Structure 1
Amino acid sequence: MTSELLIPLTVLVLNGSDERHRTVASALPAGEADLLYLEDLGSTAEPAKEFIDLCIVDAGTDDNSTVPLVQRVRRRWPLVGICCLGCTDVVAVLEAGADDAVPADAGPEVEAAQLAAAFRRARGATSELRVAFGDLVYDREARRVWCAGKEVMLTPRELRLFDILFVRAGAPVSVSTLQDYVWKDDFPRESNALAVYVSYLRRKLGASQQATLESVRGVGYRLARRG
């Protein structure tokens, strides 16, 4: 397994104008960022994203509203990188929890360089946690899975099944081991629940061109490379 496969980072942009959105999009590597735009964390359009990799806040020269917004972001995502643009009080924004605060009088080249640096740090932080097997990528700490570059939403039980198969990728895992790991003491011994959940997982990972979930006759299942 490797950590070389690049997955787009989820970048949340708060309070940005259309012009600011264009600035952010042009400063980040093409195809490497999944950009989400919100006016505020309390917006009704708030995306159903439990995880983000980087947050960019447009202070809009109003640090009085930016400081509490940064504090809310930091409470919700304690480890995420926060980069604020257009700050009039850099110290206050940094003390609120931002990692970067670009002054309002900074030129566009400085803003672009700061954004690129914040993105590189976010990429470095996630690359240590995300491991690839073929075109499957797993962030075990965040419990996130990507297949062929797209994030896959798994139920808690599907995720436990994927977890043990991914950790032991290439080796067969017995039926009894899978049952004990996924269900613990709650597995209905007379049911075909394991086969059902394997079929669910196969369907959700069906877009993979490099990995497959194989049945191993007389043993159990194995996450294997195609071909």
Structure 2
Amino acid sequence: MTQTVLLAEDDRAIRDSLVRLLTVEGYQVTGVADGIQALAAVHKAKPDVLVLDVMMPGIDGLAVCRVLRAENDRTPILMLTARVETSDRVAGLDAGADDYMVKPFEAEELLARLRALLRRAVAVGGEGGSDGGAVDGGASAVSAVPDSVITVADLRVDPTARRVWRGDTEVQLSRTEYDLLELLARNAGIVLDHATVYDRIWGYDFGPGSKNLAVYIGYLRRKLDLPGTPQLIHTVRGVGYTLREP
């Protein structure tokens, strides 16, 4: 079955180029020039994935993302931005985006990220969001565990419902944030290296220069480390990250 992509990009040259690229790769692509057209297209026919430029006239990509998430639309969203500051990227994640790319970017990386988003969307729809157990490569991993609630200190992760609590407080996470936290929780106490995490969450290792993982870890910490609670996600410099009890 052909997968569908909705692309919202106000720069016509970039939009036409991406439409051609994605069409050649076998996607069915709808290209629009602004956020108003993007929302109308989604409401008319829900795509498998959205690619949204942040800076668009009228309703921008962030606003489109917020509207769809407020409507409980969980379609995977990849944001495109020319802004390189971490705060700008975090704004996209806060709006509910699943991933972001900074312009200019390589076509192969864009395609890899789309494939990863679509794979995860299928896994969530068909398997209740489970990562399926152990991690392969780059770190020793625990054996597969059933999809019961995972508990680490006062953190609870429910893979079946894809819900998270810290103490009695439920924590709202985006698709990517949840996937990353579940991976860490399933391997609590084990240090997962960057390459392993990129492979399991994004399906692609973006290399040592990528800030993607660090941004998502920081965002998870801001949501999980409630006032008066100890930090659960720890950085092991030069290696990766681990989730463990204080």
Give the TM bin, normalised by the shorter chain: 0.3 to 0.5
- Give 1 or 2: higher strand fraction: 1
Kindly indicate whether structure 1 or structure 2 has the higher relative contact order, using CA contacts under 8 Å at least 6 residues apart.
Answer: 1
- Normalised by the length of structure 1, the TM-score is 0.43
